[in-house]
Structure 1
Amino acid sequence: MTRKILVTGGTGFIGSRLVQKLAETPDEVYVLVRKSSDLSSLSEVLDHVKLIYGDVTDPDSVHNAMQGIDFVYHTAGLTYMGDKKNALLNKINVEGTRNMLAASLSAGVKRFVHVSSITAVGVAYDRKPLNEASTWNFDRLNLEYARTKRQAEVDVAEAVKNGLDCVIVNPAFVFGAGDINFNAGRLIKDVYNRKLPFYPLGGICVVDVEIVAETIMAAMQKGRTGERYIIGGDNVSYKELADTISSVTGVPRVNFPLPFWMAKILKQFLALKKRKNGISKLFNLSMFRVASEFLYYDSAKAVRELGMRKEPHANSIRSAFEWYRDRDLLR
């Protein structure tokens, strides 16, 4: 029997790869999109999926979209590291998730997979990788994005208590082919173009988008109700990550370490000199503050329960770089 599946955030990096994989199954795949959405990431599968126009922040459109749906993948969300979009972060990440949960409960959805973030897990201040049971401590960094992703998980837990079958997944720092919006891929582009002459002193957990999409689907199939699963890979310092990018792309290594206190001074200097074009857009203080800590995670639970595979982070960097290069997107 054909199942009806709804995906939110299907035009995003993770969401589009998920939709592409779902389109290969016998299921009916519906994608909730806005009238203004750029559909280029779905161009290859538009003949195999059905678009439903709406917005997660509009309860009526979400309610209408949910009718007859069996399974929901909620990947929609705003990723923004700063303090200039706090209201929008709350509206999309928190209120949007609440709208999806309420509509799913009302429509009798059989299972709901919520795509969260590692920021909802916490920060490995002692460099020891965190797991799903770790106490959330991201509030020390005062990052609204992390707060909204954490709050959305609290709301998912409440929906589970009310009878909705939900599973949470927490993807790490995602690289790979198809990142048209240059999310993590901005790092590759800027190292390649020599726009990142320094590196922060923290570290990050890196995972490939293919593994993320596969594991999200496995969570729908095998995940335990109310549980969360970290989808990660190699834990690497930003120095190691920059070295990998340099090695893959063939450009000189980034050799200048930049502590956060020095980054604040440099940022002021660049602002005074009005020199912004030569430095990466990633160089904002909110993002650099987070990058000065260690976002290291243990994905053993996803490996054990969902069959998540692992591969070296260099593979993901290479596939992303080659995808950009072949499409002349690195200029």
Structure 2
Amino acid sequence: MGSAMDGTPGRRRALVLGASGNVGAAVVRRLVAEGHDVRVLLRRSSSTKGIDGLDVERRYGDVFDTEAVTAAMADRDVVFYCVVDTRAHLADPTPLLETNVEGLRGVLEIAAGANLRRFVFLSTIGTIAVGVNGETVNEDTPFNWSGKGGPYIESRRQAEDLVLRHARERGLPAVAMCVSNPYGPPDWQPKQGALVALAAFGKMPCYLRGVGAEVVDIDDAAQALVLAAERGRIGERYIVSERYMSQREMFTIAAEAVGAPPPRFGLPMGPVRLAAAIAGASNRLLHTDFPINAVAARLIALTSPADHGKATRDLGWHPGPTAEAIRRAARFYVDRRDRNEQVVNL
């Protein structure tokens, strides 16, 4: 039977876990726009700005609440798992492993017996290899930076492996989506968008030379996950990214979109690594919470172009230019600032 997810009449019953996050909220918005029956499972303390006003059923609990997860999943066709702790800077990695791996493990046990059509897992571009000398990589390029990404990348690799193992060994109809750095409004709690916001405010006078990242429009990323619920091949993973973009280009696009001064000069990575090492030592010894450490700085530099051709071939996914999403994000951040709302913690 057809579905609105693939452009034909039909309606799916979807559950979104992690709907308070940026990607999770975008998935909810996409599902609602396509007319699906959407349920979300939220913690009562979670911000819901990204989904407020949408026609969704709200349930309350978290991924460790077996009863709540079981009840929320009971009559669903598709589950979108978008729960992730992204705090790569943490001095103590315990929360990363607890949420990203152990919380997922319990949900997978429930999902394996839930008679789902698809389990769409939000993974990360960080589980993909890094190209040597800037070479382009894809889903089949052997992972080549073990031990360099710290606890965050390790937790995400373990999580993705856990999902794909359930597909192989338990028959879970799972698909892993390796999403890169998403940009675009609404972005109420900027993470990747924090530097774009600073550039839009004219507070980013420099960029890191030779540094960039794979990027994608947040709405295109959501579309890829929704397409995967219909067309994704079970047990496969897909790169969800439009293209590689340098920091200089990204900050310049954001600044020029709102008439702010673009960055004027480039910095080498050396001073950044030194500052990150000092911040990491402070986090360990003084229990501060600076959002960077030596490993996080290494993650900034360990990037390369990636090929999303598999998602185009299998899913029919054709992302638009992320540059336009960055322009929209810049205008969104400036509008919030002009309304005297806190956008980023400076």
Cα displacement string for residues 282-317 of structure 1 (whole angstroms, at most 9, x for unaligned residues):
665433322123242111111122121232232011
Residue type of the alignment partner of 1:210: D
Q: Indicate if the aligned counterparts of 1:138 and 1:146 stay in contact, CA closer than 8 A.
A: no
Residue 103 of structure 1 is aligned with which of 100, 110, 122? 110
Report the equivalent of 1:186. 194
Selected match of 2:66 from 56, 59, 63: 59
Question: 1:41 is aligned with what amino acid?
Answer: G
Aligned length: 321
Q: CA RMSD in A?
A: 2.4
Q: CA deviation at 1:224?
A: 0.7
Paired residue for 1:229? 238
Q: How far does residue 214 in structure 1 lie from its aligned partner after superposition? A: 0.9
Partner Cα separation in structure 2 for residue 60 and residue 123 of structure 1: 40
Q: Specify the SS of the correspondent of 1:159.
A: helix
TM-score by length of 1: 0.89
Secondary structure of residue in 2 paired with 1:6? strand
CA contact (8 A) 1:54 1:65 kept: no
SS at match of 1:225: coil
Shift of 1:136: 1.8
Task: Say which of 165, 177, 201 aligns to 2:173.
Answer: 165
SS class of match (1:236): strand
Does the CA contact (< 8 Å) of 1:6 and 1:29 recur in 2?
yes
The 2-side partners of 1:314 and 1:25 are apart by 25
> 1:164: Cα distance to partner?
0.8
Is 2:254 aligned against 1:254?
Answer: no
- The percent identity for this pair of structures is 30
1:118 aligns with 2:125: yes
Q: Which moved more, 1:208-217 or 1:81-90?
A: 81-90
Instruction: State how 1:16-31 maps to structure 2 within 5 Å.
Output: 16-31=25-40
Matched, 1:89 2:96: yes
C-alpha displacement at 1:10, in angstroms?
0.6
Alpha-carbon contact 2:182-2:192 (below 8 Å) kept:
yes
* Bigger shift: residues 217-226 or 63-72: 63-72
Q: Distance in 2 between matches of 1:3 and 1:244?
A: 38
User: Secondary structure at the residue paired with 1:116?
Assistant: strand
Q: CA deviation at 1:174?
A: 0.3
The answer on whether the counterparts of 2:202 and 2:262 sit within 8 Å (CA) in structure 1 is no
1:9 corresponds to which letter in structure 2? G
Whether contact under 8 Å (1:208, 1:313) holds in the other structure is yes
Q: Deviations over 1:10-65 (max 9, x none)?
A: 111111111112123443211010121112221120xx111111111333332232
* Counterpart selection for 2:316 from 307, 313, 321: 307
Residues 193/325 of structure 1: CA separation in 2 closer, same or farther (3 Å cut): closer
Superposition deviation, residue 175 in structure 1: 0.2
Match of 2:19 in 1: 10
Unaligned runs of 5+ in 2: 1-9, 281-289
Which deviates more from structure 2 when the two are superposed, residues 247-256 or residues 304-313? 247-256
CA separation of 1:166 and 1:192: change in aligned 2, threshold 3 A: same
- Counterpart Cα distance in 2 of 1:79 and 1:102: 23
CA separation of 1:192/1:25 partners in 2, compared to 1, >3 Å: closer, same or farther?
closer
Residue by residue, what CA displacement relative to the aligned partner does 1:246-289 show, whole Å, maximum 9, x if unpaired? 32232223233333322244567899xxxxxxxxx766543332
Q: Which amino acid aligns with 2:31?
A: L
* Matched residue, 2:286: none
User: In structure 1, the residue corresponding to 2:134 is in which secondary structure?
Assistant: coil
- Summarize the alignment of residues 280-291 of structure 1 with structure 2, pairs less than 5 Å apart: 284-291=293-300
Structure 1 window deviating more from structure 2 (23-32 vs 168-177): it is 23-32
User: Which residue identity does 1:81 align to in structure 2?
Assistant: A
Q: Is the 8 A contact 1:166 1:226 kept in 2?
A: yes
Shift of 1:2: 4.9
Does the alignment pair 1:37 with 2:46?
A: yes
1:72 pairs with 2:75 = no
Residue number in structure 1 paired with 2:6: none
Partner-residue secondary structure (3-state), 2:133: coil
